[in-house]
Structure 1
Amino acid sequence: MAFTTRPELAGTFGMVSTTHWIGAQAGMAMLERGGNAIDAAAAAGFALQAAEPQQNGPGGEMTLLVALPGAEPRVLCGQGPAPAAASVAGFRALGLDQVPGTGLLAAAIPGSTLAWLTLLADHGTLAFADVIGPALRVVEDGLPIGAGLALVLERMAPHFLAHWPSSAELYAPGGAPLPEGSLLRNPALARTWRRLVVAEARAAAAGAGRAEAIGAVVREWAEGFVAESIDAFCRIPQRDSSGRAHAGLLTADDLTAWRPHYEPTVSAEFRGWTVHKAAFWSQGPAFLQQLRILDAVPGFGEGALAPGTEGYVHTILEATKLALADRDAWYGDAPGVPADELLSPDYARTRARLIGDRASLEMRPGAPGGREPRLPDLSVRGAFDRAGLSGLGEPHAVRALLEADALPGPDGTARTDTVHIDVVDRWGTMVSAMPSGGWLSSSPVIPELGFPLGTRLQMAWLEEGLPNTLAPGRRPRTTLSPSLATRGGEAVLAFGSPGGDQQDQWQPHFFLDVALRGAGLQEAIDAPGFHSAHQPSSFYPHEALPGVALLEGRFAPDVVAALRRRGHRVAIAGDWEIGRLCAVSRDPGTGIMRAGANPRGMSGYAVGR
């Protein structure tokens, strides 16, 4: 039996795995009171908004996959589109050539909270008041600040104090950031949630059923006091990563006009499994393209290309570069994305033939159906220049970039991350959810509501004619990418990891460990992580490190040396720094469920029985 950092859970009642123990416990509490996986996932989602405000918030967005017993998996899109006033011309008129990474201009319509409410109304069994209960206790009673949140607060406090006083009031009262171990309370957010609970109670008292009463909560958010407060706050210019203050574009009319919706998944088969993802408005199909390409490589998964070998890592890195180059050339919420061709086995074989013995240092999008690819202008910090390669990407530059990502610049730019939730219940319902955005470092806290807006529009380009060009009503191509796998038509595995552009690298690595060598969930989560930093980041300012591969320090020295001989610009991370995976599974034949959670970061946990 393989050694793991913690036991893989097993049982027949239900499993919850999330990136913070508060979310896992909140979800399990709903299962214990008779709720289903939908109730559990929603409770976990709201609890994570309270417990990890540096990773997500009520003003953010979400992509979610759900598989109900006997039904095909579906996507619930909680990724809001650009406001009606958002346009390339409008941003250009402000003297901007990129959407800022912070502030109000980059806010899409917030979709995470509405998506949870939609899912709960449609498929849950409990009231909103029940599922919001654990989250309310966190913001009212307080939660001790952990090391990760404390570090973000310390780094953001100067910017809060200088430019975002409403954030300073919550996170740096008295002029100093709240320290590790102190209690974080959020009375304004508690009042917001309490007003939503009252809306539900009034509807129920008037005779509305459970789903209709939750609908009243949706209207209070999208048409009532929440929408009005967001509209008013967006009229006040706020400092953003351009170094200037800009008002926002969101209006109450934008919130009123939009609702989350369900849509089919896209999927690909891999050796008896079918992996389901959100469609090409997300980066999710890049996972599927990697599987297709790898399956077309002769001998992949065996011999010199067996898991753990340098040939295996090299082949995955090269397949990743090809898939993500296609992402940047072809993916977006626009008509004409060549979806069928991008996922076809014939196209995958063509792409697989590009994988040689040496690491590629180029961006190589394909030509599906004979179409000519077009990349956005990648002449940004550390990225590819118009001639091909900027020259950055040496290992010493990687560590500098990683450290810079965690530090706010003079404009307050600082990256945090995302959260993830997987749930399966005894009836076979399975949920995989990736909420994110609305981080405390994204924009100022709205004083009346207790949370900031997101900045997902930074992922759209200010160049006309691209699939991911900014446009009113168009979703920015999101990195949020949960995963769900079926076998024989039954949902058997839900999994995911925060990590922006790395989400659809770390998740395939986990899946391949399970699919190729039969690893257990916790064993696959614990396996040494790696990823490519070759592609331009989806986040402002869209930097890249061509040819760079980042590996955890637990890789064998001979593997690292062999990869460097192949031309990979290898940089070594800490032994436990790469990935934040969660996973749950269910065997339809026995009903046995399992769960694992990531030890990295010291916050992820799985709960079940």
Structure 2
Amino acid sequence: MTKFTTRPDIRGTFGVVTSTHWIASAVGMSILEKGGNAFDAAVATGLVLQVVEPHLNGPAGDLPAVFHSVASGDGVVAAQGPAPAAATIEHYRAQGIELIPGSGLLSTVVPGAFDGWMLMLRDEGTMTLREVMTPAVDYARDGHPMLPRVADQIAGLAEYFAAEWPSAAEVWVPDGNAPHAHALFRNPGLAHTYQRLIESGEAAGDDRIAQIDAARGEWAEGFVAKAIFDYLETAEVHDVSERRNRAVLAPSDMATWRAAIEPPTQYTYHGWTLSKTGPWGQGPVLLQSLAILKHFDLGAMDPLGDEFVHTVIEAMKLSYADREAYYGDPDQSEIPMEHLLSDAYNAERAKLIGADASTEQRPGRVPGFEHQADAYIARAARDFGVSDVGAQEPTMAHLTDRKGDTVHLDVIDRWGNCVAATPSGGWLQSNPVIPGLGFPLNSRAQMFWLEEGLPTSLAPGRRPRTTLTPTLAVHEDGTRLVFGTPGGDQQDQWQLIWFLRYVHHGMGMQEGMDSPLFHTMHFQGSFYPRAVKPAEMMIEPAIGEACIDALRARGHKVTVAGDWTVGRLTAARRTPDGALTAAATPRLMQAYAVGR
């Protein structure tokens, strides 16, 4: 029987690019057409996403990318900036802060995204700064059609920007006029910043690598850093704490930090070896979910039935409880990752899944780390019933009901290089725009706890445990997949569901994205105000009333989402014969896959 999908699987042999915005995908494909490789295309795509989706990511945000390089193998671009040297629990407590705000200067860590893109370009790319940065400059200078969601976001914040964040009003509400949906929108400040970085790089000479390193230096210690710290010298910014706070970020924090390439965290499941970030991201939670689910015959379950949904939801509750108890920056804390991914441990975790929905927070008891499990259970009990306004991603939720989010891209070239990246942070709603630069700082420090002794406790130089989590999967036959999605705590949930249906039920790439998605909100949320919603889940109505009723009969507190509102997945694949396939979600009518 023919399976109809909202879009075709995009197929070819030359190259494929898929991202959360059609303009960015087209730009990435244009780079491949000009002879660039997947890394060149990913950088160009990522920089354009900063321009066309400024409510979802920016230059001063965060960047994890997982990749396969024909030349150097598998790796992770770790461009998550750490907490500043002055970011101590004592300092925040002295300000009367008990929970780090979801916006404003107290929530700012070292900007990471731009340096991460430059590191990828330098070490794995082939093109020059000018070649990959010019599309972003052009769209920022000449304009791009404003997404309705961005226009709505800005409209909801326009009055607040004018009153509290005037530098943001100058950029996002020029001349006091909020942008209209689909009207051309320009950000000349960002265009000027990127053009000056190109020129600063070229002043270093003709060598491509020297140019990139010079641009990185200008960002961290040159004119970009100077503009940031000239602003921060006197800035006191109103945030969701309803107070005005000053930053703790200092020039030495930016000058001494650079992005790095790390080995991935890996797990093998039914012939697929999946690569994720380390536990400074939530990536291993997908691996833990697989380690639990391999004890169930998922292939025998209806992928749209209540047994499948229930089993996957319960596995995710367990793995996410471990995320909250044990994950953190492995450079500063001992993370028992080997134990958390071990067969024996997850066999016991799987036994906890019964026929009914669990209502308790159940992190595992890892020997020597039991105090962390106890601390999580206590936090979750304390924060049960907290308002979940803005919990999916940080936003000025007390002023507007519009949520922030993230972007994603996947690229595979004709040589077999593969990239999946999930940039985020530095949203237009996270902080005022730095005067003259055209972009705001990030708000990622809100992931930290102001409690001592945890791997997620605020500490100088520590990376926040983020939700950003691209995926690379390699089958034993040589097939490679790169995939991911925006969505905060939901990112690894939606990816897991798509991957399981692909592996166990033979769903095509686009078919899996078109299928109804679901997620649990049972565990503690990662974003301010860190809500806990035991046994609660959300599911799209296309799953059917019978499934929804059966889930409720099992004890799940089911919220039925609007049609086509859950998930923003994209994915790309390369088989050993060189055939390429790509797909993108139809939800929000933005994401697009292109290729030939």
Structure-1-length-normalised TM-score: 0.94
How far did residue 176 of structure 1 move?
3.7
Answering whether residue 583 of structure 2 is matched by residue 596 of structure 1, we say yes
- Which of 291, 301, 309 is residue 299 of structure 2 equivalent to? 301
Answering whether residue 593 of structure 2 is matched by residue 606 of structure 1, we say yes
Q: 2:122: which partner in 1? A: 121
Answering whether residue 525 of structure 2 is matched by residue 537 of structure 1, we say yes
Q: Residues 308-323 of structure 1: matches in 2 within 5 Å?
A: 308-323=304-319
Q: 1:160: which partner in 2? A: 161
CA distance in 1, matches of 2:76, 2:491: 17
Instruction: Report the secondary structure of 1:385's partner residue.
Output: helix
Q: Residues 507-526 of structure 1: matches in 2 within 5 Å?
A: 507-526=495-514
- Which of 564, 580, 595 is residue 576 of structure 1 equivalent to? 564
Deviation track 1:585-609 (CA, whole Å, cap 9, x = no partner) reads 0001x10000001110111001100
CA distance in 1, matches of 2:392, 2:250: 34
Q: 1:108: which partner in 2? A: 109
2:291, 2:341 within 8 Å by CA — same for their partners in 1? yes
Instruction: Report the secondary structure of 1:601's partner residue.
Output: helix
**Alpha-carbon spacing, 1:80–1:591, altered in 2? closer, same or farther (3 Å):** same
1:164, 1:444 within 8 Å by CA — same for their partners in 2? yes
Letter in 2 for 1:358: D
Deviation track 1:134-154 (CA, whole Å, cap 9, x = no partner) reads 111111111121211111111
Q: 1:268: which partner in 2? A: 267
- Which of 321, 325, 329 is residue 325 of structure 1 equivalent to? 321
How far did residue 348 of structure 1 move?
0.7
Instruction: Report the secondary structure of 1:584's partner residue.
Output: strand
CA distance in 1, matches of 2:453, 2:129: 42
CA distance in 1, matches of 2:281, 2:43: 22
Letter in 1 for 2:407: V
**Alpha-carbon spacing, 1:456–1:407, altered in 2? closer, same or farther (3 Å):** closer
How far did residue 404 of structure 1 move?
10
Deviation track 1:170-227 (CA, whole Å, cap 9, x = no partner) reads 11233342121322111111110111111122112xxx41111111111111110111
Letter in 1 for 2:419: V
Letter in 1 for 2:409: I
Instruction: Report the secondary structure of 1:74's partner residue.
Output: strand
Deviation track 1:399-438 (CA, whole Å, cap 9, x = no partner) reads xx58998984446796310000100001000000010000
CA distance in 1, matches of 2:341, 2:544: 34
Q: Residues 54-73 of structure 1: matches in 2 within 5 Å?
A: 54-69=55-70, 71-73=72-74
Answering whether residue 210 of structure 2 is matched by residue 212 of structure 1, we say yes
Answering whether residue 537 of structure 2 is matched by residue 549 of structure 1, we say yes
CA distance in 2, matches of 1:414, 1:227: 30
CA distance in 2, matches of 1:148, 1:409: 15
Deviation track 1:302-336 (CA, whole Å, cap 9, x = no partner) reads 1xx34222111000000000000000000001321
**Range 368-377 or range 217-226, more displaced:** 368-377
Q: 2:279: which partner in 1? A: 280
CA distance in 2, matches of 1:234, 1:226: 12
CA distance in 1, matches of 2:199, 2:427: 26
Letter in 1 for 2:513: I
2:470, 2:484 within 8 Å by CA — same for their partners in 1? yes
How far did residue 368 of structure 1 move?
2.4
**Alpha-carbon spacing, 1:269–1:556, altered in 2? closer, same or farther (3 Å):** same
Q: Residues 355-366 of structure 1: matches in 2 within 5 Å?
A: 355-366=353-364
Q: 1:448: which partner in 2? A: 436
1:101, 1:458 within 8 Å by CA — same for their partners in 2? yes
Gaps of 5+ in 1: none
Letter in 2 for 1:592: A
Q: Residues 54-203 of structure 1: matches in 2 within 5 Å?
A: 54-69=55-70, 71-203=72-204
2:16, 2:593 within 8 Å by CA — same for their partners in 1? yes
How far did residue 70 of structure 1 move?
6.2
Letter in 2 for 1:256: A
How far did residue 374 of structure 1 move?
2.3
Q: 1:494: which partner in 2? A: 482
Q: 2:31: which partner in 1? A: 30
CA distance in 2, matches of 1:278, 1:149: 29
How far did residue 569 of structure 1 move?
0.2
Instruction: Report the secondary structure of 1:25's partner residue.
Output: helix
RMSD, aligned CA: 2.0
**Alpha-carbon spacing, 1:244–1:377, altered in 2? closer, same or farther (3 Å):** farther
Instruction: Report the secondary structure of 1:374's partner residue.
Output: helix
Q: 1:253: which partner in 2? A: 252
2:517, 2:540 within 8 Å by CA — same for their partners in 1? yes
2:523, 2:534 within 8 Å by CA — same for their partners in 1? yes
Instruction: Report the secondary structure of 2:565's partner residue.
Output: coil
CA distance in 2, matches of 1:91, 1:342: 32
Deviation track 1:152-180 (CA, whole Å, cap 9, x = no partner) reads 11111121011000111111233342121
Letter in 1 for 2:527: F
Letter in 2 for 1:576: W
**Range 499-508 or range 173-182, more displaced:** 173-182
CA distance in 2, matches of 1:36, 1:410: 44
CA distance in 2, matches of 1:18, 1:438: 19
CA distance in 2, matches of 1:318, 1:8: 31
Q: 2:494: which partner in 1? A: 506
Instruction: Report the secondary structure of 1:558's partner residue.
Output: helix
**Range 234-243 or range 405-414, more displaced:** 405-414
CA distance in 1, matches of 2:537, 2:476: 36
Letter in 1 for 2:62: E
Letter in 2 for 1:316: V
Q: Residues 292-441 of structure 1: matches in 2 within 5 Å?
A: 292-297=291-296, 299-302=297-300, 305-333=301-329, 334-369=332-367, 371-375=369-373, 384-386=380-382, 390=384, 408-410=396-398, 415-441=403-429
Letter in 2 for 1:365: P
**Range 362-371 or range 267-276, more displaced:** 362-371
1:227, 1:251 within 8 Å by CA — same for their partners in 2? no
CA distance in 2, matches of 1:223, 1:70: 31
Letter in 2 for 1:170: V
Instruction: Report the secondary structure of 1:17's partner residue.
Output: strand
**Alpha-carbon spacing, 1:406–1:74, altered in 2? closer, same or farther (3 Å):** closer
How far did residue 491 of structure 1 move?
5.9
How far did residue 466 of structure 1 move?
0.6
CA distance in 2, matches of 1:406, 1:123: 32
Q: Number of paired residues?
A: 592
**Alpha-carbon spacing, 1:406–1:600, altered in 2? closer, same or farther (3 Å):** farther
Letter in 1 for 2:265: V
Deviation track 1:225-273 (CA, whole Å, cap 9, x = no partner) reads 1111112222211111111111111122111100000111111111111
Structure-2-length-normalised TM-score: 0.96
**Alpha-carbon spacing, 1:404–1:57, altered in 2? closer, same or farther (3 Å):** closer
Q: 1:465: which partner in 2? A: 453
**Alpha-carbon spacing, 1:444–1:20, altered in 2? closer, same or farther (3 Å):** same
**Alpha-carbon spacing, 1:89–1:145, altered in 2? closer, same or farther (3 Å):** same
Letter in 1 for 2:232: C
Letter in 2 for 1:537: G
Q: 1:225: which partner in 2? A: 223
Gaps of 5+ in 2: none
**Alpha-carbon spacing, 1:462–1:375, altered in 2? closer, same or farther (3 Å):** farther
